[in-house]
Structure 1
Amino acid sequence: MVSGPSPTPASDAIDGRRRRIPKGEVQRQGILDGFEKLLGEMPALDISVKDITEAAGIKRPNFYFYFESKDDVLGELVGRAWDAWVQTIGSYHRRAGEPHSDYFDRLFGQSYAAWVEHDQVMVAGVQATGYDDKVRARWTELVTGLNRHLSEQMGRDAEAGLISPLSDDHGAIVERLTDMIVMAFYKDRSLKPAEAESARMLASVKAIWLGSWGVADVR
């Protein structure tokens, strides 16, 4: 988090050298960091632009140079958390020879880990889909892309005779499964139960997912 102007130029390392980080880049990141920190102290709806600028150590006009509203900040934080997850899993496609059980663990086990790491952002993001058009559009874009890839993978696996999905409408099955998983993660990260309860949640979601895909061996 940026607490105020730095007396020395900000920089980071690239191949052993130092790179001067533009002031604008520092301020923009400070806004994102400040907002995420505030999410640990109060609900997103209660956070004001004034709260964010004070947390970031910048003046109010500077905020509007980078973002139109606080929900724009939340939308970017959600997108960054999602992008970090996608980079971790590597691909939405099932890898050659990858068992469906392992496929689920790679996709949604690592997704859950991303929710744990960014739980305040993800919980606030789901909540904001109910009242902010831009956050809802961003979330819908991300989930739609995921569903499309999963539906295509289900189609390939079904055509190859590897699975027997509960319905020929692969898109509908995938959408409902994704909705279920998001809500399960949302509830888990909102309540933050004991680790054993979270493990039970993941195990049950996995069983439902594998059963819906029609995987022969769901062990």
Structure 2
Amino acid sequence: MSGSPTTQSVTRRTTRATRRRDELILDALERLLAETPLRDLGVEQIAAEAGITRTRFYFYFKSKHEAYAALLARVRELLLVFYDTEDSWFQRPESVRPRESMTDTIRAVVDFWLEHGAVMREGADLWNSVAETRSLWHDLIAQPVDRMARAIERERERGIAPDGPPADQLAHNLIWHGERLLFLALIDAPGTMSVDDLVESATTVWMRAIYLADDPAPAKTAQA
């Protein structure tokens, strides 16, 4: 029986057979980034982790930065799900109180950033210096900014949020504020908050900036 394949080896072969090679390269890159910054990774390391040769790597990507850009694009698409689901604050049904909805949404986004922390850390760090990353990172931020602006306008139309700065400007400030806080958490900067404290403080900042209240009553109740 010594010649029988192990469950792990069979699983590995099955995974490689059922996933596209470029996806396996991105999987390998994300694993490596958890331990090593992109600047210190070589194509040889990425190729070896993916089980291919350096030459084969270049069949799929021109450079490690292009591979990282593809990985960031993949993560970005997963992240957008949190803004578009029906129960997120960005799509908040009127039956759910604003603070409850916002807290749940912010926690989901924070958990996602931590789950893909290495990828997000690199994006937040490299976007201003690596051309392949810049437009993707701006888009990763711009899409939630756009969704938040629409949500703020919706809450104002519902009569639950007061008029204030233009919705797009307010959204831009709040989303970029969150981006920096999350980046600081990922690099374990001095003074970094716990996840619970980060979620609670970010929720309070957003609530007070958008609603001028910690948890406003629905408009119908406020009028009663």
State TM-score, norm by structure 2.
0.79
1:213 aligns with 2:207: no
The 8 Å contact of residues 150 and 174 in structure 1, kept in 2 or not, is answered as yes
Name the SS of the counterpart of 1:97 in structure 2.
coil
- Selected match of 2:31 from 19, 33, 37: 37
| Residue 91 (structure 2) aligns with | 93
C-alpha displacement at 1:208, in angstroms? 0.7
Counterparts of 2:82 and 2:142, CA distance in 1? 19
Name the SS of the counterpart of 2:91 in structure 1.
coil
| Equivalent AA in structure 1 for residue 43 of structure 2 | V
My pick for the range that moved more, 76-85 or 129-138, is: 76-85
Q: Where does structure 1 lack aligned partners over 5 or more consecutive residues?
A: 1-5, 13-19
Aligned residues: 203
1:185 aligns with 2:179: no
Counterparts of 2:187 and 2:128, CA distance in 1? 16
1:55 aligns with 2:17: no
| Equivalent AA in structure 2 for residue 162 of structure 1 | I
1:73 aligns with 2:71: no
The 8 Å contact of residues 100 and 215 in structure 1, kept in 2 or not, is answered as no
Give a deviation string over 1:105-126, Cα, whole Å, max 9, x none: 2332100010111111110111
My pick for the range that moved more, 91-100 or 125-134, is: 91-100
Give a deviation string over 1:46-99, Cα, whole Å, max 9, x none: 111122112212112221222222122222222322332333551532223222
Percent identical? 22
- Selected match of 2:106 from 91, 105, 108: 108
Counterparts of 2:43 and 2:152, CA distance in 1? 44
1:154 aligns with 2:152: yes
Shift of the 39–8 alpha-carbon distance from structure 1 to 2, 3 Å rule, reads closer
The 8 Å contact of residues 75 and 135 in structure 1, kept in 2 or not, is answered as yes
The 8 Å contact of residues 123 and 186 in structure 1, kept in 2 or not, is answered as yes
The 8 Å contact of residues 145 and 172 in structure 2, kept in 1 or not, is answered as yes
